[in-house]
Amino acid sequence: MEKGEMIARSGYRAWIGGLALLVCAVVSPGASAQKAAASHASKAVAAPAFEPLERWKQAVLAGDRAGLAGLYAAMPGAFAQTPRGRFSDPGEEPQYWAGLRAAGLQSINPKILQMDTRQPGTAVLTLRIDVTLRSGGQTQEYIVSGAQMWVQQAGGWQIYRSQRTDLLPRPAIRLPEPARPNPQLYPEPEAAHRDLDAALTAARADHKRVLVVFGANWCYDCHVLDAAFHSKEISPLITANYHLVHVNVNDGTSNVDLARMCQVQPDKLPSLAVLDENGRLVTSQRNGEFDSAVRIGMGDVRQFLEQWKPAGVH
C-alpha cells in the first residue's frame, strides 16, 4: 500500500471515532428550528445528494469566503478539527477552503461515503474530497478525507463541526471509481446475520455460492470494489454464480463473530469470503488481499470470482 493511501486510510478510520463525538455532542437547535428539522430532514437526506453540500462545493470553487462563512454555524461548541489542531474560530474553515482558489483550484468533488441522520435535524457526512489544482503550468490531483456535521437551523442547514486532513496526493486507482458512492451500501451492522441467512437460503435453492464482503461505508476502497462488481465485465459473473452479502464492520468492532467465522481481518477492508450453499467456508482473504484499489485491477477481481464460483454453474 502506497504511503499516501495509508495516510488517507488512517484518516478515514479516525473519522469513525470523530463521528461519534460529532453526533453525541451536538448542540440542540432552538425549539422552532428543531421542529422544522423534524419535518424536513427526511426529505433533505433522502435526495440523491445532500443539497447543502452542493452549495458548499460551489462556494469553494468560487473562492467565496463570505458565502462559505454563511454555511458555518457560529454557536457555542462549534469547532473545526484540522491537522494543526482544533479551532473554534468560525472563520478558519471558510478561509482554508476559499484559499484553494488562489492556489489554482480547478475542480473539487466531495463524495459522500457515509451519512448519519440518527438525530433529527442533523446530518453527519463522511467525505472523500477530490481536489485538482493547477500551478506553474502543472496540474496535480489530491484527496482530502473529512467529516462534516450539518445542523438544520431556522435559516437552513449549517456546518456545526468538521474534520479534515491535509491535501494528500491522489493515488492511481486501477478499478473503476463510483461517480457518486452509495452511503447505504453497507446496511446497519445488525442486519448482517439476517442477510447472510437469506443468502444461504437462496443458495440452497439455486446451488450458487455466497460472496460475503466485509467493509464499511466510510471505506472508499469498499465503494470502489462495489463499482467493479457493477461493471459490465464483472456484474454478469456475480449474478450467475453468487449471492452477494455486505457485512458492515463499522470501525472493526461490529460483526466480529462473522469475521472470525469467515477468517478475515475486520481491520483490512474490504475483505472477501466465499461460502458454499451449506454455509461452509470455501475461501477467504485472510490478509486483506483486496483492501487497496491501488494494488488490484479488474483482472484480479475476475480471477477471484472465476476461481471460486461453483462447479456446473455458469
pLDDT value of residue 36: 34
Number of C-beta neighbours around residue 228 at 10 A: 24
Beta strands 79-82 and 271-275: pairing type?
Answer: unpaired
pLDDT value of residue 294: 93
Taking the model in full, what pTM does it have? 0.86
Q: Which amino acid is at 87?
A: F
d(CA 222, CA 111): 13
Closest Cα to residue 304, out of 248, 232, 228?
A: 228
pLDDT value of residue 150: 97
Domain ranges of the chain: 3-169, 189-307
Q: 148 and 110 in contact (C-beta within 8 Å)?
A: no
Q: Which CATH architecture has domain 189-307?
A: 3-Layer(aba) Sandwich (3.40)
Average pLDDT per run of 10 along the chain, which is 314 residues long?
A: 45 50 44 34 46 97 97 95 95 97 97 92 96 96 97 94 96 93 96 98 98 97 97 97 98 96 96 97 96 95 98 66
Q: 25 and 77 in contact (C-beta within 8 Å)?
A: yes
Q: 241 and 313 in contact (C-beta within 8 Å)?
A: yes
Closest Cα to residue 242, out of 198, 267, 209, 273?
A: 209
CATH topology assigned to domain 3-169: Nuclear Transport Factor 2; Chain: A, (3.10.450)
pLDDT value of residue 63: 98
Fold: same for 3-169 and 189-307 = no
